[in-house]
Amino acid sequence: MAIKNAFYAQSGGVTAVINASAAGLLETARAHSDKIGKVYAGRNGIIGALTEDLIDTSAESTEAIRALRHTPSGAFGSCRYKLKSLEDNRREYERLIEVFKAHDIGYFFYNGGGDSADTCLKVSQLAGTLGYPIQAIHVPKTVDNDLPITDCCPGFGSVAKYIAVSMLEASFDVASMAKTSTKVFILEVMGRHAGWIAAAGGLASNEDHEVPIIILFPEVTFDQEKFLAKTDHYVKEYGYCTVVVSEGVKGTDGKFLSDQGLRDAFGHAQLGGVAPVIANIVKNGLGLKYHWGVADYLQRAARHIASGTDVEQAYAMGKAAVEYAIAGHNSVMPTIERISSSPYAWKTGMVELSKVANVEKMMPADFISEDGFGITGKCREYLSPLIEGEDYPPYKNGLPDYVRLKNVAVTKKLAEFKI
Amino acid sequence: MAIKNAFYAQSGGVTAVINASAAGLLETARAHSDKIGKVYAGRNGIIGALTEDLIDTSAESTEAIRALRHTPSGAFGSCRYKLKSLEDNRREYERLIEVFKAHDIGYFFYNGGGDSADTCLKVSQLAGTLGYPIQAIHVPKTVDNDLPITDCCPGFGSVAKYIAVSMLEASFDVASMAKTSTKVFILEVMGRHAGWIAAAGGLASNEDHEVPIIILFPEVTFDQEKFLAKTDHYVKEYGYCTVVVSEGVKGTDGKFLSDQGLRDAFGHAQLGGVAPVIANIVKNGLGLKYHWGVADYLQRAARHIASGTDVEQAYAMGKAAVEYAIAGHNSVMPTIERISSSPYAWKTGMVELSKVANVEKMMPADFISEDGFGITGKCREYLSPLIEGEDYPPYKNGLPDYVRLKNVAVTKKLAEFKI
């Protein structure tokens, strides 16, 4: 087998551990220099391939690549850009082949979620559609945990840990304040379609620390009366209550609860989150003091409290991608296969990309408690191992010592291409 | 000196390290059982004293008390309750004396901020005003860092670290997304009067990681045009920009920027934070994609990323309070005295409580950069040592193993008292 270069890029919303996948992939590729030549990273995902904006990862030191394992975000830049079908934009596919040919690229690694899997699938079909031999492997990543087949998705475990830890800490805080001040704390978390992240908030209550937590899932239509009754009940029983609300929660009218048509004093439309909406419902319905927070990017960037399990799996997915490529596979994605929950054991698997692209994994109905406000034992059993273990980054002067790569550009060989 | 019992209580907004002060105080009191008998904790601050709702801390194990050092929030419950003056509410002072007498209490330790220092001062004067001999020592605590004389205040360093780490992580995230998506990230932080916490966001940019950060201080009147120009400049130069905004930022009309008179579609008043207000200004003024977060309680409860310096100082303040009491002091507060910034060195000092109560320490003008959007080298020199060091709590099943005390009530001896 002739030595070919590889292309690697990061796509979609970044996570605390997508760079750990990059580390696994790059370190493994370096260890197989008899099969893989240079790994060129796309600057800003597939856009880097289209515009021939390639980064020469061989210019990075061993230490820098190793440091990617503990650095959040996308070291090479990410993008939100979905390739159209071959019929709709043949020009882009031909350009990809031009770039791949010009830089002798035979391996295509794409690190992303559902949309990115679709892009990777289309690239994997280039041999059949346009006669260019390439092996395309998708490396799974998404905080939303909504990729199918794989037991979980790198990026999710760390968000889950961040939300569980934050809910535990905020619950301790509001419990201290409840006598004369705040009685309800509301935290808004990501998850527009699936409640995986919100569910993780439920882990803050366990046999060691019983915490009255209400979870508002996007899967459950918001019922104001039931919610207020539950909040009232918890505050009466425990003195306080915490709420974790998914950004995707909808009302009976099918609209996002956050979409309240807010106007400022001048009548201008204002965007708010869902947490202040829930806070107002609590204030108006029960007259209780509240506080609210919105975790937003903090939750998915929080490498400082990443899950050890998640970091390990993210690294393993990057490593497996290279191994599968070397073994001759195309159009596949490495997966995480759960062997057992307690004690937790898992192994790396593989799935055809066509079974992954554009398929969304929702929360199973039996993960949500009967009243719609909590998680079941089954859900807890699934989630618990994913937040296990701490994998702290090194610190310097009180701050995590995250790496910034040099990101040296590869000399362009082709004419400019407008996307 | 006869053995006397002590009263200890926590007051005001809780922090990640107020329990570390409790640990320092309780462990030191236990080591001086020849001087101090039992330490009774007030359930929910001074309210516990007024209602004779006392907790027998001697019922807690050595391990439980030690675990307070790594547990956020107020283990005995806090309160927002300020004693009126003796003239205005003599009844409350007489009740305090009744309770102190009934439980043989000769030491009063109050752990709080400016308002609590005032309460402690009033109690310290009981000997003079009502003839009851008591030594009252105030233990400093506040995330706002606004107590005077002490170089810094336990609780602040950990919030500062949390905000600096979060801003660093979110900045890495938005930098990855900026090519095709989010270009501005806005984080709302605490600080209604003083910009200490917002200033800490500036630490995320340093010689290792230059980050385009705009700080919006409550000390600086918000100038929309200047802010938009700065944001535009940063986005053009770096591709992205992050903003840390203090909840207390005011507009030229002197009103809080968060107070936008928001109404929902039905005309009902809605409360929002200042982060979405800034986000809308960015959207309308520059047409840039943004994300925003509100840290709220997460920032002050985040014991998982507490500053090592802060934990050490919080513990030392609790320890010193007992030592000062045993040495015969009354109406004082232990302080942190900075010896040098680099290398950082500090020692425990002492100040008269009358110099602390109701005095607010503002940010020095020369801590804010000339354009009003950044911190100066002097500010950086002051802040940097306060976020130094990591002091991780132990973990169990992926979550911090925080302690919940038994909080056994002391048998009441007096008639009920209504507050």
In whole angstroms, what is the distance from residue B202 CA to residue A298 CA? 16
Residue A209 has pLDDT above 90, yes or no: no
Q: Do A270 and B277 touch (CB under 8 A)?
A: yes
pLDDT in tens, B281-319: 999 999 999 999 999 999 999 999 999 999 999 999 999
Q: Do A113 and A176 belong together in one domain?
A: no
Q: CB contact, 8 Å: B74 with chain A? A: yes
Give the residue among B248, B54, B109, B275 at the shortest CA–CA distance from B184: B275
Q: Do B248 and B172 belong together in one domain?
A: yes
Q: Do A177 and B78 touch (CB under 8 A)?
A: yes
User: Which band of pLDDT confidence, cut at 50, 70 and 90, is reported for residue B133?
Assistant: very high
Q: Do B283 and A260 touch (CB under 8 A)?
A: no
pLDDT in tens, A182-204: 999 999 999 988 999 999 999 99
Residues of B in contact with A297 (CB under 8 A): 169-170, 173-174, 185, 291, 293
Residues of A with a known catalytic role: 144
Tokens 């060091």 label which residue?
Answer: B389
Which pair of tokens denotes residue A17? 């551990």
Size of the A and B interface in Cβ pairs below 8 Å: 255
- Which residue of A lies nearest to B394 if distances are taken between CA atoms? A390
In whole angstroms, what is the distance from residue B218 CA to residue B215 CA? 10
Tell me whether residue B78 is in a domain.
yes
Quote the DSSP letter at residue B269. Answer: B
- Which residue of A lies nearest to B276 if distances are taken between CA atoms? A272
Q: Report the gap between the CA of B245 and the closest CA in chain A (Å).
A: 14
Given a contact cutoff of 8 angstroms between Cβ atoms, the answer to whether A114 and A360 are in contact is yes
With 0-12 / 13-18 / 19 or more C-beta atoms within 10 angstroms meaning exposed / middle / buried, residue A152 is buried
pLDDT of residue B301: 98
Q: CB contact, 8 Å: A271 with chain B? A: yes
Residue B266 has pLDDT above 80, yes or no: no
Tell me whether residue B125 is in a domain.
yes
Residue B263 has pLDDT above 80, yes or no: no
Q: How many domains does chain B have?
A: 2
Tell me whether residue A210 is in a domain.
yes
Nearest to A293 among B10, B173, B294 (CB): B294
Q: Do B81 and B112 belong together in one domain?
A: yes
- Which of A21, A44, A81, A165 has the highest number of chain B CBs within 10 A, making it the mutation to test binding with B? A165
* Complex ipTM more than 0.90, yes or no: yes
Residues of B in contact with A14 (CB under 8 A): 173, 176-177
In whole angstroms, what is the distance from residue B289 CA to residue A271 CA? 13
pLDDT of residue B82: 87
Q: Report the gap between the CA of A136 and the closest CA in chain B (Å).
A: 23
Instruction: List residues bridging with B27 in a β-sheet.
Output: none
Residues of B in contact with A77 (CB under 8 A): 175-176, 178-179
Residues 6+ apart with CB under 8 A from A54: A7, A40, A41, A42, A43, A48, A99, A103, A409, A410
pLDDT in tens, A364-380: 999 999 999 999 999 99
Q: What's the mean pLDDT when you consider all of chain B? A: 95
Q: CB contact, 8 Å: B207 with chain A? A: no
Residue B269 has pLDDT above 70, yes or no: no
Quick one: CA torsion of B187, B192, B195, B201, rounded to 10 degrees? Answer: -20
Largest CA-CA distance found in chain A, in angstroms, rounded: 73
Task: Give catalytic status of residue B151 as yes or no.
Answer: no
Give the residue among A113, A155, A123, A205 at the shortest CA–CA distance from A21: A155
Residues of A in contact with B206 (CB under 8 A): 397, 399
Residue B403 has pLDDT above 70, yes or no: yes
Please check if B318 is assigned to a binding site: no
Of A266-270, A347-351, B60-64, B128-132, the one with minimum mean pLDDT is A266-270
Q: Do A291 and A184 belong together in one domain?
A: yes
Residues listed for chain A: 419
Residue A271 has pLDDT above 70, yes or no: no
pLDDT in tens, A82-130: 888 888 999 999 999 999 999 999 999 999 999 899 999 999 998 888 8
Instruction: List residues bridging with A269 in a β-sheet.
Output: A263
Q: Do A47 and A11 belong together in one domain?
A: yes
Tell me whether residue A81 is in a domain.
yes
Orientation of helix B18-31 relative to helix B308-326, angle to 10°: 40
Helix (H) or strand (E) holding B188: strand B184-189
pLDDT of residue B129: 87
Which pair of tokens denotes residue A382? 């699934």
pLDDT in tens, B71-91: 999 999 999 998 888 889 999
Q: Do A173 and A286 belong together in one domain?
A: yes
Which pair of tokens denotes residue A247? 């950004």
Of A63-67, B5-9, B255-259, the one with minimum mean pLDDT is B255-259
pLDDT of residue A142: 96
Final residue of a structural domain among B261, B286, B301: B301
Tokens 């607010």 label which residue?
Answer: B360
Of A169-178, B85-94, B403-412, the one with minimum mean pLDDT is B85-94
Tokens 């610190």 label which residue?
Answer: A395
Q: Do A136 and A200 belong together in one domain?
A: no
Please check if B408 is assigned to a binding site: no
Q: CB contact, 8 Å: A303 with chain B? A: yes
Residues 6+ apart with CB under 8 A from A233: none
Given a contact cutoff of 8 angstroms between Cβ atoms, the answer to whether A319 and A26 are in contact is no
Tell me whether residue A131 is in a domain.
yes
Please check if B190 is assigned to a binding site: yes
Tell me whether residue B250 is in a domain.
yes
pLDDT in tens, A298-345: 999 999 999 999 999 999 999 999 999 999 999 999 999 999 999 999
pLDDT in tens, A122-162: 999 988 888 999 999 999 999 999 999 999 999 999 999 99
Higher pLDDT, A153 or B272: A153
pLDDT of residue A10: 98
Residues of A in contact with B301 (CB under 8 A): 166, 169-170, 172-173
Q: Do B20 and B102 belong together in one domain?
A: yes
Q: Which domain range does residue A246 map to?
A: 156-301
Please check if B144 is assigned to a binding site: yes
In whole angstroms, what is the distance from residue B196 CA to residue B115 CA? 18
pLDDT of residue A358: 85
In whole angstroms, what is the distance from residue A198 CA to residue A243 CA? 10
Tell me whether residue B320 is in a domain.
yes
Given a contact cutoff of 8 angstroms between Cβ atoms, the answer to whether A282 and A231 are in contact is yes
Q: What's the mean pLDDT when you consider all of chain A? A: 95
Orientation of helix A224-238 relative to helix A275-286, angle to 10°: 70
Percent of chain A with pLDDT over 70: 97
Q: Which of B118, B144, B146, B310 is catalytic?
A: B144
pLDDT in tens, A252-270: 999 999 887 666 666 666 6
Q: Do A168 and A218 belong together in one domain?
A: yes
Q: How many Cβ atoms from other residues are within 10 Å of residue B63's Cβ?
A: 8
User: Which band of pLDDT confidence, cut at 50, 70 and 90, is reported for residue B267?
Assistant: low
Q: Do B262 and A270 touch (CB under 8 A)?
A: yes
In whole angstroms, what is the distance from residue B333 CA to residue B417 CA? 29
Which pair of tokens denotes residue B2? 């006869």
Q: CB contact, 8 Å: B401 with chain A? A: yes
User: Which band of pLDDT confidence, cut at 50, 70 and 90, is reported for residue B1?
Assistant: low
Please check if B169 is assigned to a binding site: no
Distance set, CA A304 to CA A198, A307, A390, A391 (Å): 20, 9, 9, 8
Q: Do A276 and A332 belong together in one domain?
A: no
The full DSSP string for B339-365 is EEETTEEEEEEEEEGGGTTT--PPPPG
Q: Collapsing DSSP states into helix, strand and coil, what is residue B418?
A: coil
- Which residue of A lies nearest to B80 if distances are taken between CA atoms? A180
Q: Do A261 and B265 touch (CB under 8 A)?
A: yes
pLDDT of residue A265: 61
pLDDT of residue B31: 98
User: Which band of pLDDT confidence, cut at 50, 70 and 90, is reported for residue A357?
Assistant: confident
Q: How many Cβ atoms from other residues are within 10 Å of residue A265's Cβ?
A: 10
A39: amino acid identity, one letter: V
Q: CB contact, 8 Å: A204 with chain B? A: yes
pLDDT in tens, A282-308: 999 999 999 999 999 999 999 999 999
**CATH number of the domain enclosing A47:** 3.40.50.450
Q: Do A294 and B292 touch (CB under 8 A)?
A: yes
Q: Do A107 and A44 belong together in one domain?
A: yes
**CATH number of the domain enclosing A277:** 3.40.50.460
Nearest to B264 among A260, A301, A304 (CB): A260
Tell me whether residue A147 is in a domain.
no
Q: Do B272 and A268 touch (CB under 8 A)?
A: no
Q: Do B116 and B163 belong together in one domain?
A: no
Q: Do B401 and A208 touch (CB under 8 A)?
A: yes
pLDDT in tens, B352-385: 999 998 888 999 999 999 999 999 999 999 999 9
